[in-house]
Chain A
Amino acid sequence: DAGVIQSPRHEVTEMGQEVTLRCKPISGHNSLFWYRQTMMRGLELLIYFNNNVPIDDSGMPEDRFSAKMPNASFSTLKIQPSEPRDSAVYFCASRNRDRGQPQHFGDGTRLSIL
Protein backbone atom coordinates (compact mmCIF):
# COMPACT_ATOMS: atom_id res chain seq x y z
CA ASP A 1 0.00 0.00 0.00
CA ALA A 2 1.93 3.01 -1.28
CA GLY A 3 1.84 6.14 0.82
CA VAL A 4 2.16 9.73 -0.28
CA ILE A 5 5.17 10.05 -2.54
CA GLN A 6 7.15 13.27 -2.79
CA SER A 7 10.05 14.20 -5.03
CA PRO A 8 12.76 15.25 -4.89
CA ARG A 9 13.70 14.32 -1.32
CA HIS A 10 16.36 17.02 -1.24
CA GLU A 11 16.82 20.13 -3.32
CA VAL A 12 19.67 22.61 -3.11
CA THR A 13 19.59 25.57 -5.44
CA GLU A 14 20.70 29.14 -5.71
CA MET A 15 18.61 32.13 -4.90
CA GLY A 16 16.50 33.29 -7.82
CA GLN A 17 16.09 29.85 -9.38
CA GLU A 18 12.73 28.20 -9.95
CA VAL A 19 11.95 25.26 -7.69
CA THR A 20 9.28 22.63 -8.39
CA LEU A 21 8.21 20.13 -5.77
CA ARG A 22 6.08 17.14 -6.70
CA CYS A 23 3.53 15.00 -4.89
CA LYS A 24 1.61 11.83 -5.66
CA PRO A 25 -1.23 11.35 -3.14
CA ILE A 26 -2.55 8.02 -1.93
CA SER A 27 -4.82 6.44 -4.51
CA GLY A 28 -8.46 7.13 -3.73
CA HIS A 29 -7.77 10.18 -1.58
CA ASN A 30 -9.60 13.26 -2.80
CA SER A 31 -8.02 15.96 -0.63
CA LEU A 32 -4.42 17.12 -0.85
CA PHE A 33 -2.47 19.51 1.35
CA TRP A 34 0.88 21.26 1.06
CA TYR A 35 2.66 22.19 4.30
CA ARG A 36 5.91 23.91 5.18
CA GLN A 37 7.80 22.97 8.35
CA THR A 38 10.44 25.09 10.06
CA MET A 39 11.91 25.00 13.54
CA MET A 40 10.50 28.41 14.35
CA ARG A 41 6.96 28.04 13.04
CA GLY A 42 6.32 24.31 12.99
CA LEU A 43 3.93 22.91 10.37
CA GLU A 44 2.12 25.57 8.37
CA LEU A 45 -0.61 24.83 5.85
CA LEU A 46 0.15 26.46 2.52
CA ILE A 47 -2.72 25.29 0.31
CA TYR A 48 -5.49 22.73 0.27
CA PHE A 49 -7.10 21.00 -2.75
CA ASN A 50 -10.36 19.14 -2.80
CA ASN A 51 -11.15 17.04 -5.89
CA ASN A 52 -8.21 18.77 -7.66
CA VAL A 53 -9.65 22.25 -7.01
CA PRO A 54 -7.78 24.71 -4.77
CA ILE A 55 -10.04 25.49 -1.81
CA ASP A 56 -7.89 27.54 0.53
CA ASP A 57 -4.58 29.13 -0.46
CA SER A 58 -4.51 31.71 2.32
CA GLY A 59 -1.34 30.12 3.69
CA MET A 60 0.67 30.69 0.53
CA PRO A 61 3.21 33.26 1.68
CA GLU A 62 3.66 35.28 -1.50
CA ASP A 63 2.91 35.39 -5.18
CA ARG A 64 6.22 33.65 -5.71
CA PHE A 65 4.49 30.47 -4.56
CA SER A 66 2.02 28.62 -6.76
CA ALA A 67 0.45 25.17 -6.66
CA LYS A 68 -1.40 23.06 -9.18
CA MET A 69 -3.23 19.77 -9.20
CA PRO A 70 -3.87 18.80 -12.82
CA ASN A 71 -5.33 15.42 -11.88
CA ALA A 72 -6.17 13.27 -8.89
CA SER A 73 -2.75 11.63 -8.76
CA PHE A 74 -0.35 14.54 -9.09
CA SER A 75 0.32 17.97 -7.61
CA THR A 76 3.14 20.49 -7.82
CA LEU A 77 4.29 23.35 -5.63
CA LYS A 78 6.41 25.91 -7.45
CA ILE A 79 8.53 28.74 -6.07
CA GLN A 80 9.71 31.34 -8.53
CA PRO A 81 11.99 33.12 -7.83
CA SER A 82 13.29 31.29 -4.77
CA GLU A 83 14.79 33.10 -1.77
CA PRO A 84 16.95 31.87 1.14
CA ARG A 85 14.02 32.33 3.56
CA ASP A 86 12.12 29.68 1.61
CA SER A 87 14.50 27.05 2.98
CA ALA A 88 12.40 24.53 4.88
CA VAL A 89 10.95 21.04 4.66
CA TYR A 90 7.87 20.91 2.47
CA PHE A 91 5.33 18.17 3.10
CA CYS A 92 2.45 16.93 1.04
CA ALA A 93 -0.45 15.13 2.73
CA SER A 94 -3.61 13.53 1.45
CA ARG A 95 -6.81 12.15 2.89
CA ASN A 96 -10.20 10.82 1.97
CA ARG A 97 -12.59 13.72 2.36
CA ASP A 98 -15.18 11.57 4.15
CA ARG A 99 -15.87 13.43 7.32
CA GLY A 100 -13.29 12.99 9.99
CA GLN A 101 -10.66 11.07 8.04
CA PRO A 102 -7.09 12.03 9.07
CA GLN A 103 -4.31 13.20 6.80
CA HIS A 104 -1.40 10.98 5.75
CA PHE A 105 1.94 12.61 5.06
CA GLY A 106 4.77 12.03 2.64
CA ASP A 107 8.39 12.13 3.79
CA GLY A 108 8.87 15.68 2.58
CA THR A 109 11.27 17.63 0.40
CA ARG A 110 14.14 19.29 2.22
CA LEU A 111 14.74 22.56 0.36
CA SER A 112 17.84 24.69 0.77
CA ILE A 113 18.13 27.99 -1.07
CA LEU A 114 21.66 29.37 -1.07
Chain B
Amino acid sequence: QKEVEQDPGPLSVPEGAIVSLNCTYSNSAFQYFMWYRQYSRKGPELLMYTYSSGNKEDGRFTAQVDKSSKYISLFIRDSQPSDSATYLCAMSSYSGGYQKVTFGTGTKLQVIP
Protein backbone atom coordinates (compact mmCIF):
# COMPACT_ATOMS: atom_id res chain seq x y z
CA GLN B 1 0.00 0.00 0.00
CA LYS B 2 1.30 3.45 -0.92
CA GLU B 3 1.72 5.99 1.87
CA VAL B 4 -0.34 8.51 -0.12
CA GLU B 5 -3.19 7.55 -2.41
CA GLN B 6 -4.64 9.93 -4.98
CA ASP B 7 -7.13 9.24 -7.74
CA PRO B 8 -5.35 10.00 -11.04
CA GLY B 9 -8.52 11.07 -12.82
CA PRO B 10 -8.85 12.61 -15.32
CA LEU B 11 -11.59 14.75 -13.87
CA SER B 12 -13.57 16.85 -16.33
CA VAL B 13 -15.97 19.56 -15.12
CA PRO B 14 -17.84 22.49 -16.69
CA GLU B 15 -16.66 26.03 -16.01
CA GLY B 16 -18.11 27.38 -12.79
CA ALA B 17 -18.42 23.99 -11.09
CA ILE B 18 -17.10 23.21 -7.62
CA VAL B 19 -14.21 20.78 -7.81
CA SER B 20 -13.26 18.39 -5.03
CA LEU B 21 -9.85 16.72 -5.08
CA ASN B 22 -8.88 14.20 -2.41
CA CYS B 23 -6.02 12.21 -0.97
CA THR B 24 -5.80 9.58 1.71
CA TYR B 25 -2.71 8.62 3.63
CA SER B 26 -1.56 5.92 5.99
CA ASN B 27 1.36 7.52 7.87
CA SER B 28 0.23 9.08 11.16
CA ALA B 29 3.53 10.94 11.39
CA PHE B 30 2.60 13.34 8.58
CA GLN B 31 2.38 16.84 10.04
CA TYR B 32 2.32 19.24 7.10
CA PHE B 33 -0.06 19.03 4.17
CA MET B 34 0.30 20.72 0.82
CA TRP B 35 -1.37 21.01 -2.52
CA TYR B 36 0.65 21.71 -5.64
CA ARG B 37 -0.64 22.63 -9.07
CA GLN B 38 1.33 21.50 -12.10
CA TYR B 39 0.67 22.85 -15.56
CA SER B 40 1.85 20.87 -18.56
CA ARG B 41 5.63 21.07 -19.00
CA LYS B 42 6.07 23.12 -15.84
CA GLY B 43 7.20 22.38 -12.32
CA PRO B 44 4.79 21.89 -9.41
CA GLU B 45 3.67 25.21 -7.95
CA LEU B 46 2.69 25.45 -4.29
CA LEU B 47 -1.00 26.29 -3.87
CA MET B 48 -1.89 25.59 -0.28
CA TYR B 49 0.10 24.71 2.80
CA THR B 50 -1.30 23.78 6.17
CA TYR B 51 -0.17 22.24 9.42
CA SER B 52 -3.28 21.51 11.41
CA SER B 53 -6.60 19.81 10.93
CA GLY B 54 -9.43 21.99 9.70
CA ASN B 55 -9.96 24.32 6.79
CA LYS B 56 -7.74 26.92 5.16
CA GLU B 57 -9.11 29.26 2.55
CA ASP B 58 -7.29 31.28 -0.12
CA GLY B 59 -9.49 32.93 -2.68
CA ARG B 60 -11.35 30.25 -4.62
CA PHE B 61 -9.31 27.48 -3.00
CA THR B 62 -10.05 25.72 0.29
CA ALA B 63 -7.81 23.04 1.76
CA GLN B 64 -9.29 20.68 4.29
CA VAL B 65 -7.40 18.29 6.55
CA ASP B 66 -8.93 15.55 8.67
CA LYS B 67 -6.11 13.88 10.58
CA SER B 68 -8.43 11.49 12.38
CA SER B 69 -9.55 10.04 9.06
CA LYS B 70 -6.18 10.56 7.34
CA TYR B 71 -7.89 12.42 4.55
CA ILE B 72 -7.21 15.74 2.86
CA SER B 73 -9.17 17.64 0.27
CA LEU B 74 -8.81 20.63 -2.01
CA PHE B 75 -11.95 22.45 -3.11
CA ILE B 76 -11.98 24.85 -6.03
CA ARG B 77 -14.99 27.15 -6.27
CA ASP B 78 -16.16 28.73 -9.51
CA SER B 79 -13.67 26.67 -11.49
CA GLN B 80 -12.07 28.33 -14.51
CA PRO B 81 -10.45 26.90 -17.64
CA SER B 82 -7.16 28.26 -16.28
CA ASP B 83 -7.52 25.79 -13.39
CA SER B 84 -6.96 22.93 -15.85
CA ALA B 85 -3.81 21.25 -14.56
CA THR B 86 -2.61 18.30 -12.55
CA TYR B 87 -3.03 18.70 -8.79
CA LEU B 88 -0.60 16.93 -6.48
CA CYS B 89 -1.16 16.44 -2.80
CA ALA B 90 1.94 16.28 -0.64
CA MET B 91 2.57 15.47 3.00
CA SER B 92 5.63 15.71 5.15
CA SER B 93 7.03 14.40 8.36
CA TYR B 94 10.32 14.68 10.15
CA SER B 95 12.53 11.64 9.84
CA GLY B 96 16.15 11.39 10.87
CA GLY B 97 16.17 15.10 11.67
CA TYR B 98 14.90 16.40 8.37
CA GLN B 99 11.61 16.94 6.61
CA LYS B 100 10.65 14.23 4.16
CA VAL B 101 7.89 14.99 1.66
CA THR B 102 5.77 12.31 0.03
CA PHE B 103 3.73 13.21 -3.04
CA GLY B 104 0.56 11.73 -4.43
CA THR B 105 0.67 10.77 -8.09
CA GLY B 106 -1.60 13.68 -9.05
CA THR B 107 -5.15 14.20 -10.34
CA LYS B 108 -5.52 15.66 -13.81
CA LEU B 109 -8.30 18.26 -13.94
CA GLN B 110 -9.89 19.70 -17.04
CA VAL B 111 -12.32 22.62 -16.79
CA ILE B 112 -14.40 22.92 -19.93
CA PRO B 113 -15.53 26.42 -21.02
Contact = CB atoms under 8 A, between A and B. Distances in A.
Interface of A: 4, 31, 41-43, 45, 48, 50, 55-56, 91, 93, 97, 99-100, 102-108, 110
Interface residues of B, number: 21
A42 B100 CA distance: 16
A43 B88 contact: yes
Contacts of B105: 41-42
Contact of A45 (B32, B88, B101): B101
Given A43-B88, A45-B101, A106 B43 contact: yes
Which 4 pairs from chain A and chain B are nearest by CB?
A105-B43, A42-B105, A43-B103, A107-B43
Nearest to A91: B43
B96 interface: yes
Nearest to B31: A100
A65 to B, nearest CB: 19
Contacts of A42: 88, 103-106
Interface stretch (B14-22, B45-53, B55-63): B45-53
